Amino acid sequence: MKSKLFYILTLLSIIIIFTGCSNEKNNSESSQNDEIPEMLEVQINLDTDNPQPNQEVTISALVTQGDEKVDDADEVLFEVWKNGKEEHEKIEGEHKGNGVYSISKSFPEEGVYYVISHVTARDMHNMPKREFKVGDNSNDETQATHQEHNDSHIDDLMIHFMSDDSVKVKDKTILTAHLQKENLPLIDAEVRFEIWKGEGEKHEFIDAVESKDGEYKAETAFESTGKYHVKIHVKKGELHTHQENSIEVQ
């Protein structure tokens, strides 16, 4: 009788220990799964500190997540423009390996330029901005500094507009706006897309939904072919700004 009782108690002890270890393992795995992923970091580099006019320059973006170099980015787009110019050139980056994506470009004029690297990877988006100077025109640098100061309340909010690669008439199209302020996603903002064609008086307004931090999406369909204007309206607290883009419907 005693040996039978001892056997039962021993068996119960083993079951309790096994159950405890199993729960601890499951809790540990659950805790790991619930961990917030590390932020996507992007560092913009130039192969020369002060390029000269018509000199080819390599502009690169090093994309990392924690200690890992990101080689599976969905999109790396470089947006380049000269201070005071409305025209912005967008160039797709070429993957070079080890988390590096780059473009090569020359600049015909002296002056202050800006580059934004738009990076989408692993369900995150980051778009750092960097200023650089071409040539030795100090007057342009002073003017740029003054202008940046005057427009700082707008410039510290960056907006990146995206749409489907090929937009066809009457097909459903997803419009996306990535918003970033002070290098962090702008969350809980009111975002609307204003859409109109050419010089037409009819303007359509569509409210966007925040699909994830700093990413706002809306669905629409275009009724005819041609060039449409898409203005992104952003409002949060005292912040109220907009950015106009264009889209070609086939």
Per-residue pLDDT tens over the stretch 148-183: 433 333 557 889 898 887 899 999 999 999 999 888
Per-residue pLDDT tens over the stretch 131-148: 999 998 655 554 444 444
The predicted model gives 210-219 an average pLDDT of: 93
- pLDDT value of position 81: 93
Confidence of residue 48 (pLDDT cuts 50, 70, 90): very high
| Domain boundaries along the sequence of the chain | 1-35, 40-150, 158-249
Task: Report the CATH number of the 40-150 domain.
Answer: 2.60.40.1930
Q: What percent of the chain has pLDDT over 70?
A: 78
Q: Which CATH class is domain 158-249?
A: mainly beta
- pLDDT value of position 147: 43
The set of long-range contacts for 49-53, using a CB threshold of 8 Å and a minimum separation of 24, is 49/132, 50/132, 50/133, 50/134, 50/135, 50/136, 51/107, 51/132, 51/134, 52/134, 52/135, 53/106, 53/107, 53/108, 53/109, 53/110, 53/134, 53/135
